[in-house]
Amino acid sequence: MLNLIWLGLLVVSAVTALLTGNLKQLVNSVPDAAMNAFRLSLGLTGIMALWLGIMRIAEKSGLTEKLSAMIAPLMVRIFPGVPRDHPAIAAMAANMIANMFGLNNAATPLGIKAMKDLETLNPVKGRATHAMCMFLALNTSSLQLVPFGAIALLAAGGSKDPTIIIFPAIIATSFSTISAFCIARTMSKMKRYQD
Amino acid sequence: MSTNELASTISNLILLIFLVGIPVYGALKGVKVYETFVEGAKQGFDIAVNIIPYLVAILVAVGMFRASGAMDILTSLIPSSLRDYGITSDILALALTRPMSGAASLGILGEIVSSHGADSFQARLGAVILGSTETTLYVVAVYFGAVSITKTKYAIHAGLVADTVGVIASVVVCRIIFG
């Protein structure tokens, strides 16, 4: 899928640029985007180290196990391939809590930590497991309950009642999360995705 | 305190519980918190470096797509029947940009707010769309990049369907609530 999307973006961009005469803009965008990717990755280093350090304390103190035991009944249903006492359970739970409250700076490192933990259960390196796909699906469906960024923009634009969008946003995001769960669960049963 | 301030205070408190509560709990359990923190934090750099190639691949492709003008053409193809539901071309541009770039989609919402007004239907719809969807390709690049996975199975399908459902649900809910 990523092969197709990636190649599609490249080819469509090149053809469009040739037809519209945006060739110069296109070519100029490339080094900027590459530099931006580098900057974003390195920018992640500090906050990544912070949360990995905090999570290591949580693991050593036994907090991770306790949290896992509490939420395992629910998590095992969502991620059937992950043992209930596995560290990935706690990392995924921490990521999803951070996501719900819009703590993106904490959610991304915790999510990466969860992927690292899930990777220890992966029999085939380089290929995603069902649990990874489900975790990604839920993450990309937006778990955030209150969209602070959007509210801030409305407020900055002079809205009389910027928080009016919270309720509809919670409803819409519930629909998208439920659909992500259903699609991932259904597709995990398809023959072509079996190991 | 307004609802927004309350919600953001709760979020910050949760962050503080993670950040301070965990070390305090660790110390109570006899963990050498400082050494343990440093030991865990050491992996941070390796992970970030590991992500670079994946993020370069995605961001360059997305940047080219935007710079080529393909996005403008795509949004201009919108059938006029959709406009009757409040789905103007800028809303469509927001929905199409969202899976690819968080910063760009926030920028588009900013444009919508300034051109239609902060209390307009379009601004509210755009805000709800932004709140119910994610930058799917970015999340995929970062999360799978961290564990060097290139065969993503059905993760992207599910993510993109979820984004689509989020947009449709946003339109329906906003039509009902804001008419």
Convert the pLDDT of each residue in B117-143 to its tens digit: 999 999 999 999 999 999 999 999 999
- Yes or no: say if A117 and A58 are a contact pair by the CB < 8 Å rule: no
Predicted pLDDT of residue A72: 83
Distance CA A45, CA B41 (A): 9
Backbone φ and ψ of A119, nearest 5°: -60, -30
Beta carbons of A61 and B25 less than 8 Å apart: yes
How far does Cα B140 stand from its chain's mean position?
11
Helix, strand, coil shares, percent, chain B, to 5: 80, 0, 20
How much is the pLDDT for A99? 87
| Spatial distance between the Cα atoms of A15 and B68, rounded to a whole number of angstroms | 8
Shortest CA distance to B165 belongs to which of A83, A120, A177? A177
| One domain for residues B154 and B104 | yes
Does a structural domain hold residue A80? Answer: yes
Best interface-test mutation with A: which of B17, B22, B32 has the largest number of A CBs within 10 A?
A: B22
Is B157 in contact with A183 (Cβ distance < 8 A)? yes
Q: Is there a single domain that holds both residue B51 and residue B31?
A: no
Interchain CB contact of B37 with A (< 8 Å): yes
Question: Can you give the pLDDT at residue A162?
Answer: 86
Report the half-sphere exposure of A183 (CA within 13 A, side-chain side).
Answer: 26
Assign 3-class secondary structure to chain A. CHHHHHHHHHHHHHHHHHHHCCHHHHHHHHHHHHHHHHHHHHHHHHHHHHHHHHHHHHHHCCHHHHHHHHHHHHHHHHCCCCCCCCHHHHHHHHHHHHHHCCCHHHHHHHHHHHHHHHHCCCCCCCECCHHHHHHHHHHHCCCCCCCHHHHHHHHHCCCCCHHHHHHHHHHHHHHHHHHHHHHHHHHHCCHHHCC
Residue A20 lies in a domain: no
Selecting from B36, B70, B123 the residue whose C-beta is nearest the C-beta of A56 gives B36
Residues B163 and B127 placed together within one structural domain of the fold: yes
Going by pLDDT thresholds of 50, 70 and 90, the confidence category of residue B3 is low
Q: Is the domain of B115 the same as that of B37?
A: no
Is residue B61 domain-shared with residue B148, that is, in the same domain?
Answer: yes
Helices and strands (DSSP H and E) totals, chain B? 11, 0
A19 domain residue, yes or no = no
**pLDDT at site B95:** 92
pLDDT over 60 at B1, yes or no: no
Question: Chain A contact for B77, CB < 8 A?
Answer: no
> Considering CB atoms only, which of A141, A175, A187 is closest to B134?
A141
The answer to whether residues B10 and B51 belong to one domain is: no
Nearest to B95 by CA among B174, B39, B25, B179: B174
pLDDT at B117: 93
Interface of A with B in 33-62 (CB under 8 A): 33-34, 36-38, 40-42, 44-46, 48-50, 52-62
Please state, in angstroms and rounded to a whole number, the distance separating the CA atoms of residues A12 and A90. Answer: 42
- Alpha-carbon Rg for chain B, nearest whole angstrom, is 21
Report phi then psi at A127, rounded to 5.
Answer: -120, 135
What span, in angstroms and rounded, lies between the C-alpha atoms of A187 and A88?
22
By CA distance, what is A173's nearest residue in B? Answer: B132
Q: What is the number of structural domains in chain B?
A: 2
Please name the member of B47, B114, B161 whose beta carbon is closest to the beta carbon of A112. Answer: B47
Domain residues for the domain of B88 are: 43-178
Do B83 and B2 lie in one domain? The reply is: no
Q: How distant is the Cα of B11 from the closest Cα of chain A, in angstroms?
A: 5
Taking CA atoms, what residue in A is nearest to B170? A172
Q: How many angstroms away from the CA of A181 is the closest CA of chain B?
A: 8
- Residues of chain A whose pLDDT is less than 70? 195
CA distance A67 to chain B (A): 12
Q: How many CB pairs under 8 A join A and B?
A: 391
Q: Which domain holds residue A122?
A: 32-193
CB contact under 8 A, A180 and B162: yes
Find where tokens 């900055």 sit.
Answer: A156
For residues B138 and B156, membership in a common domain is answered with yes
pLDDT at B146 over 90: yes
Crossing angle for the helix pair A87-100 and A130-140, to the nearest 10 degrees:
10
Whether this model's ipTM surpasses 0.85 comes out as yes
> Please, which residues have CB within 8 angstroms of residue B166's CB and are 6 or more apart in sequence?
A141, A142, A172, A173, A175, A176, B129, B132, B133
Question: How many structural domains are present in chain A?
Answer: 1
Same-domain check for residues B76 and B160: yes
Strands (E), B72-168: none
> Given an 8 Å threshold on Cβ–Cβ distance, is B127 in contact with A147?
yes
**B52 contact partners, CB below 8 Å, separation of at least 6:** A37, A38, A41, A42, B145
Residue B2: per-residue pLDDT: 65
Structure confidence at residue B4 (pLDDT): 62
- Residues of B within 8 A of A177 (CB-CB) are 162
| Structure-block tokens of residue B11 | 């979020």
Tens of pLDDT, residue by residue over A45-64, are 888 899 889 989 988 998 88
Residue B65 shares a structural domain with residue B2: no
